[in-house]
Amino acid sequence: MTIVLGHNRYGKAENRVVRIYRDTDRHEIRDINVSTALKGDFADAYLAGDQSKVLPTDSQKQTAYSFAKEKGLLSIETYALELGAHFVDTVEYVESARIEVEEFEWQRVLVDGVEHDHSWVRKGQETRTAAVTVTGRGTERTNIVVGGFKDLVILKSTGSEFAGFLEDPYTLLEPTHDRVMATSLVAQWRFTTIDVDWEATYLSIKRIIIEKFATLHSLALQQTLYEMGKAVLEAYDFIAEIRFQAPNKHHFLYNLQPFGVENNNEVFNADDRPYGLIEATVIRDDLPPAPEAWESYTGLV
């Protein structure tokens, strides 16, 4: 029985690159957290401490910053594809590169109702994400792009039920036909192409998800997730699958009866832990799976 090296990767995580476009008086800003990871012929580093095939993580960092100027940083998907292709094409021992990006959005300051040219407030809502896996050279090249977001905190104060569930000896929960439903949504969708208008598509998918959350009368968070995913796949045939992770951020009705105060779904305690946690994937049934799309590197994406 031999002991051998298995799965391995290395890279530079969480480079905080900020790119200002200032060719005119009206500046633009892009603010990202980018991580790079390389797979390839690196066993010697592990087995013998031989670094001769290892491009330092510091060099990966330098590249990430330089590419924000050399290649530009207008869409995180395009930027990540450029960066991934660079490592695979120029570093001899690299077989595939994984680039993960978080993007923090800014909104222009209004002065007397007019958008300011070079001042912004951090938007602070969901964090947009991208995870790109570039593998192989020339005709062997594959590009897998996963777009998404995380930390979209969304709530509805009615239009949500939870009833008719299975009961076992540990079941104390009462069914309800009117509750607060809230989650901090993580969504990630896999593209089947890289010929995409990344900005318009992102905004549209986010809009579809939010609108479905709002308008669907929900019998369970599970159902809401599935319907959101289905709506996205129906809208874009170049989306192969979409994955959700949704903590059920419980809002417990507060018992005010001891004080003679009525509480008709008006006062809640927003609890921290524990929380229900629902995972759902909506897929097309005729497409080959792409497990490497989901091999998270940083856990941030």
Catalytic residues: 12, 57, 250
The two structure tokens encoding residue 153:
């905190």
Please state the closest distance from residue 237 (CB atom) to a copy of itself, in A: 8
Among 84, 147, 148, 247, binds a copy of itself (CB under 8 A): 247
CB-nearer residue toward a copy of itself: 10 or 198 = 10
Q: Which of 27, 64, 72, 39 lies closest to 198 in space, CA to CA?
A: 72
Q: Assess 237 for contact with a copy of itself (CB under 8 A).
A: yes
SS3 of residue 95 by DSSP: strand
Q: State how far the Cα of 296 lies from the Cα of 84, in Å rounded to an integer.
A: 15
Q: State how far the Cα of 81 lies from the Cα of 99, in Å rounded to an integer.
A: 8
Q: Assess 235 for contact with a copy of itself (CB under 8 A).
A: no
Q: State how far the Cα of 225 lies from the Cα of 216, in Å rounded to an integer.
A: 10
Q: Assess 200 for contact with a copy of itself (CB under 8 A).
A: no
The stretch among 138-146, 187-195, 196-204, 215-223 that binds a copy of itself (CB under 8 A) is 215-223
Structural contact between residues 131 and 296, judged by C-beta atoms closer than 8 angstroms? yes
Containing H/E element for 109?
strand 106-111
Q: State how far the Cα of 96 lies from the Cα of 87, in Å rounded to an integer.
A: 8
Please state the closest distance from residue 174 (CB atom) to a copy of itself, in A: 10
Number of amino acids touching a copy of itself (CB under 8 A) = 149
SS3 of residue 176 by DSSP: strand
The 122-151 contact track toward a copy of itself, x by CB under 8 A, reads xxxxx------------------------x
Q: Assess 158 for contact with a copy of itself (CB under 8 A).
A: yes
Instruction: Scan residues 37-96 and list those touching a copy of itself (CB under 8 A).
Output: 37, 42, 45-63, 65-66, 68-70, 90-93
Among 24, 138, 195, 262, binds a copy of itself (CB under 8 A): 262
Q: State how far the Cα of 301 lies from the Cα of 299, in Å rounded to an integer.
A: 5
CB-nearer residue toward a copy of itself: 127 or 143 = 127
Among 142, 176, 235, 267, binds a copy of itself (CB under 8 A): 267
The stretch among 22-30, 128-136, 137-145, 192-200 that binds a copy of itself (CB under 8 A) is 22-30
Q: State how far the Cα of 144 lies from the Cα of 97, in Å rounded to an integer.
A: 11
Among 149, 213, 236, 293, binds a copy of itself (CB under 8 A): 213
Please state the closest distance from residue 146 (CB atom) to a copy of itself, in A: 14
Please state the closest distance from residue 138 (CB atom) to a copy of itself, in A: 20
CB-nearer residue toward a copy of itself: 137 or 230 = 230
Structural contact between residues 137 and 89, judged by C-beta atoms closer than 8 angstroms? yes
Among 138, 139, 140, 168, binds a copy of itself (CB under 8 A): 168
Q: State how far the Cα of 232 lies from the Cα of 227, in Å rounded to an integer.
A: 9
The two structure tokens encoding residue 232:
């996205």
Other CB atoms within 10 A of residue 24 CB: 8
Containing H/E element for 38?
strand 28-40
Q: How many CA atoms lie within 13 A of 291 on its CB side?
A: 0
Among 74, 106, 194, 204, binds a copy of itself (CB under 8 A): 106
